Chains A and B, each alone.
Chain A
Amino acid sequence: MITAGIDLGTQSVKAVILKDGSVVSHGQAFSGFDPAKAAEQAVGEALQKAKLSINNVDHVTATGSGMDMAPYSNSTISMMGADAKAGVYLFPKARTIIDVGAEEARAVKCDDKGIMVDFIVNERCAAGAGAFIEAMARALEVKLEDMGPLSLKAERASPINATCVIFGESDVVTLIHRQESKPEIARAVFDAMADRVSSMVHRLGIKPDVVLVGGVAKDVGFVASLKRKLGIDVLIPEHPEFAGALGAALIAVSRVKETQK
């Protein structure tokens, strides 16, 4: 059985192909102005890697904020539902899954079968999400991918307020004027974000194991800050940005099985 999951995120579209429930390939494209086209590209890339065509796919499940625009899709699943499914598939003991993407951070609690039992989403503001790091990297004139390694060099933490991207930026400017070093400011940015994410997760209640997914999970600076704030270990899969698409592809497997019954 071949299934596909497509995650139409705010910044990029991710696709995962499964053969009999195991991952065979990934594909990714920037969402841009035409997310449906980006989704075709992402799926196309994944199919090509798997040496398959769309006709070989038994079921496609879409997720992500743009899921209603997904091409080829046979069904949809909420991003929280997809996170829960992928989290438990990747780490069977996972019960809390934190997903930090470009524009949104969320946390999901689930049972041992990967069925979500509770969830929480950050307030309508991107300060706890990837876009915050991007804005701050611009203010520091640092490449986005250098922010994390840079922050690890900080010797101390200087607090900033991450209630909003715009005010956060003015806080960073204050630190620049105080002539704080770049590593310390970078660390301040991640600490502020991790603060927001960890209070959100605390409101939901933490049940170990805790898994971190989403594009921001690849940022070593954020991961270090989040582990410090939560005070517990956080598991990160090999391809955290594909968790949503993987969850959707796994849901597609159960949907095929349901119809076969």
Chain B
Amino acid sequence: MKSQNEEKKYMPEISQKEINELRNSVKATSQRVIAENIERMKKTATNRPEEMQYFDEIANFVKREKEIRAAKENGKKVIGYMCLFAPTELILAADAIPVRVNSGWYDTSKLGDRIVPVEVCPVVRSTIGAKMIGLSPYLELSDALISVLTCDGMTKLGEILSDYKPVWSMSLPRVKDSDQSLRFWSEEIKAVKGQIEALTGNKITRKKLKSAIELTQKATKAFRRLQEIRKGSPVIMGRDAMLVNQTYMWDDIERWTEKTEALCDELEKRARQKIWACPPDTPRVMVTGTPMIWPDNWKLPTLIEEATPQGVLIADELCSSERILYDPVGVDEWSMDDMLNAIGERYLMASTCPCFTSEDGNEDRINWLLNKVKEWKINGVIYYVVRGCMLYAMEYTRVKKVLDRINVPVYYLDTEYTREDVGQMKTRVEAFLEMLTARIDI
């Protein structure tokens, strides 16, 4: 932990009294939002899976915060990360706890405005604001942060947070399809491995890394199983599935895997019995774009699934949901070098983040989107962008072109970290769903 007296590069000095007041009020709002979101999710889903109860519980940060705190008291270290490129297998192999710390709180984005202009991405502003008032249990409990230099916002976010915590920056090549990129990235992986070992005092042995990789592969299997089930008629609403995906970012990996498998058992049974979460002819929507983070930034999936006419979120291409665990680390030989190379490849090559480009542009994301539309039988795509999210905004034109070619409607929806524009968004989402319904009827 950095000394409190050290001069801060970015963060303003705020009185403890103001911090406490702000934290208490935002925390109260957050608890209310969590309860309300879950209530509304229960109301929307007819036959909501019973196994969702566990995820509802873990969605309320209280339980997990207690567990992590207790683990820390027993000497465990916590390593936070912002982008999905952080190699969590290495964290697990060092007996540390990985947690993702990006903030989904609307109210703290306004606090972030004290440090960076409103034009900056609200995910970044909100995370800064959350740190200012110590709101996020996972960010607070982190002993160090892994900051992968992806978009401009995330690059500077790590720098700003280094006012409080040790931040390990990992430089990411923007062109991934080349040998030198992979070599460079592998070196970054090795460097961060050294930092993790130094912080935890635990050596990452071959055996420990192997079991961490296997543990994560098991989680990936459950994660993929849930998505596979959603290819069929809806047995789970999109918001419920999104919550399951997202709780992985802070839950205990073994328990999460077990609970997700149990949920999938229940869902497969329902599919056999034809017990649907909503009418099977409900328009099937996919969302892609800026990450949507629990608990506040749940407004788009909520609007889609509560709209008239109703839609159901069947799939997403978001780094806050279906991108989290989809790709496993593939190892041939379980030597240390091989495992590290496999980790490097998985995090770099499999990513569809728009921070990449190449001779063909971000071809991987385009192909993956087209594949999802086809495999998950998507009727329409909502391209969701928050103000300041430059890379996603800029890739829209290309995505629209390829979706136009296969005659799948896509709508560009821009918004902010605010509750006030829900009315306007509703008009647009409902018009889009009305259009999809009309197409299905024809």
Q: How far is the CB of A203 from chain B (nearest CB, A)?
A: 8
Q: How many Å from the CB of B308 to the closest CB on chain A? A: 7
* Surface stretch bound by A, among B94-102, B280-288, B427-435: B427-435
Q: Mark A108-126, 1 if CB is under 8 A from B, else 0.
A: 0000000111111101100
Pairs of residues from A and B, 3 with the lowest C-beta to C-beta distance, nearest first: A78-B431, A80-B431, A78-B434
Q: A115-B438, A117-B409, A121-B428 are in contact. List 8 more A-B contacts (CB 8 A).
A: A65-B427, A76-B308, A78-B431, A79-B427, A115-B442, A116-B435, A119-B411, A124-B415
- Contact status A78-B423, CB under 8 Å: no
9 A-B pairs (CB sep. < 8 Å): A78-B427, A78-B430, A81-B435, A116-B431, A116-B435, A117-B439, A119-B435, A121-B427, A124-B421
Residues of A within 8 A of B (CB): 65, 76-81, 115-121, 123-124
The answer to whether B409 touches A79, judged by C-beta atoms less than 8 angstroms apart, is no
A118→B380 CA distance, assembly (Å): 11
CB distance from B210 to the nearest CB of A (A): 51
B428 contacts across to A, CB distance below 8 A: 121
Chain A residues contacting B424 (CB-CB under 8 Å) are: 124
In-complex Cβ contact of B431 among A79, A115, A124 (8 A): A79
Q: Is the CB of A117 within 8 A of B435?
A: yes
Asked, given contacts A76-B308, A123-B414, whether A65 binds B423 with beta carbons under 8 Å apart, the answer is yes
CB distance from A156 to the nearest CB of B (A): 33
Which residues of chain B come closer than 8 Å to A121, judged between CB atoms?
427-428
A76 and B421 alpha carbons, distance in the complex (Å)? 21
Residues of A within 8 A of B434 (CB): 77-78, 80-81, 116
List residues of chain B with CB under 8 Å of any chain A CB.
308, 409, 411-412, 414-415, 421, 423-424, 427-428, 430-432, 434-435, 438-439, 442
C-alpha spacing A117/B423, complex, angstroms:
22
**B409–A81 touching, CB < 8 Å:** no
User: Nearest residue in B to A110 (C-beta to C-beta)?
Assistant: B435
Contacts of B415 in A (CB 8 A): 124
Residues from chain A with Cβ under 8 Å of B439 in the complex: 117
Q: Which residues on B sit within 8 Å (CB–CB) of A81?
A: 431, 434-435, 438
- Rounded to whole angstroms, the CA-CA distance of A119 and B412 in the bound complex is 10
Q: Which residues of B contact A124 (CB under 8 A)?
A: 414-415, 421, 424
Chain A residue with Cβ nearest B432: A119
Residues of A within 8 A of B442 (CB): 115
Give min CB distance, A56 to chain B, whole Å.
Answer: 27
Chain A residues within 8 Å of B414, by CB: 123-124
Distance (whole angstroms) from the CB of B386 to the closest CB of chain A: 12
- Residue among B308, B421, B438 facing the most chain A CB atoms (10 A cut-off): B438
A contact residues around B427 at 8 Å (CB): 65, 78-79, 121
Please give me the residue from chain A that is nearest to B411 by CB atom: A119
Q: How far is the CA of A79 from the CA of B411 in the complex (A)?
A: 16
Which residues on A sit within 8 Å (CB–CB) of B411? Answer: 119
A121 to B439 CA separation, bound complex (whole angstroms):
20
**Which residues does chain A contribute within 8 Å of B423, judged by CB atoms?**
65
Among residues of A, the one whose C-beta sits closest to the C-beta of B396 is A203
| Bound Cα distance from A27 to B103, whole angstroms | 49
A256 to chain B, nearest CB (A): 17
Alpha-carbon distance between A65 and B409 when the two chains are bound, in angstroms: 23
Which residue in chain A gives the minimum CB-CB distance to B431?
A: A78
Residues of A within 8 A of B421 (CB): 124
* Interface contact B409-A118, CB-CB below 8 Å: yes
A119 touches B431 (CB 8 A): yes
- Measured CB to CB, the nearest residue on chain B to A120 is B412
Of all chain A residues, which has the CB nearest B409? Answer: A118
Give the nearest-CB partner of B415 in chain A: A124
Chain A residue at smallest Cβ distance from B442 = A115
A119 to B430, CA, bound (A): 12
Interface centre among B308, B424, B431, B432 (most CB of A within 10 A): B431
Closest to B425 in A: A124
Distance from B267 Cβ to chain A, minimum over Cβ atoms (Å): 33
Contacts of A76 in B (CB 8 A): 308
| Complexed CA–CA distance, A120 and B409 (Å) | 12
